[in-house]
Structure 1
Amino acid sequence: MVLQSVIAPLPAFLITFANGLLFGVWWGAALSWSSAMLGAALCFFIARALGRPVVVKLLSESAMNTSDRFFQRYGQHTVLIARLVPVISFDVISYGSGLTSMRFVWFAVATGIGQLPATLLYSYLGDRVSGSIKALFWAFGIVIAVSIIIWLVKTKTSHHKHVL
């Protein structure tokens, strides 16, 4: 979830669903919630430390303009509203918050409260999946993990060959 927040390769609800599937409602929700909190904090502090030019490179000017408009319209309540509405990008709001004068404490409280309903819902739905699908999901996850490891090893070894 932390990597998902920073580089956003997957929608967060899929990871939360998977955590519910693999670890049950409560452990899946706890893992998803705490990881999302850490990822949101990381995005906030990246934006705060490195500024808008870096955030625009990570996201896009269009995404940041959307974030700006949302902050102009809803002010301090932006984070809470955005966390409660699942179609609003978690990452864009986290980065956007870091570019404002918002205190981190308010950001963290609003993020924690706002993401809780969806986290519990997706974890619950993941937990309700039957056993055979759960086994298939584990197998798929292992195949993906092994594929990523092989790709990383190949990339690293080919990079070293070009350096030498």
Structure 2
Amino acid sequence: MKIDLGCGAHKREGFIGVDISPECGADVVHDLRTTPWPFADSSVDEAYCSHFFEHLTGAQRVDFMAELYRVLKPGALATMITPYWSSMGAMQDPTHQWPPVGEGSYYYFNKAWRDQYGLSHYGIHCDFDLEFSFRLDPALAQRPPQEQQFAARFYVNAVQEMTAVLKRQ
């Protein structure tokens, strides 16, 4: 089973769309802020979530990730796409919640990272391996890699979007 979380009107082909709005054509109408989600433990082969996660508060993000961990099969992947924390896209939508999403937003959901920084008291129990990729502003796309890396690190709006691929341990 593959699920598209917060699919809106753009459900990914081959995925079961999950959204709060019955008007968008979701296969499963469910508020993803409400747990448990209507899926059994370790029943999902793959999850996809594009431009939904940033609409959750910090506390809701923790609950979302716990549910994602619960429903994914061990070794399953979840692809999360959000505006990058330093982009205008992260700030302009008044329905986006604070804080904006960056790589560090996901580190808390990796057990080794929590252990390294002494954060086991946070009560977060999921364990995802993490990989990140970035969509640069088109003006940087043809620049040499060294310039792209410098811009991504130091310039606002250089990175427009981040994709995090999480692998459930």
* TM-score bracket relative to the smaller structure: under 0.3
Given the two structures, how large is their TM-score scaled by the length of structure 1? 0.24
Higher relative contact order structure (alpha carbons within 8 Å, sequence separation ≥ 6): 1
The structure richer in strand per residue is 2
Considering only CA atoms, is the larger Rg found in Structure 1 or Structure 2?
A: 1
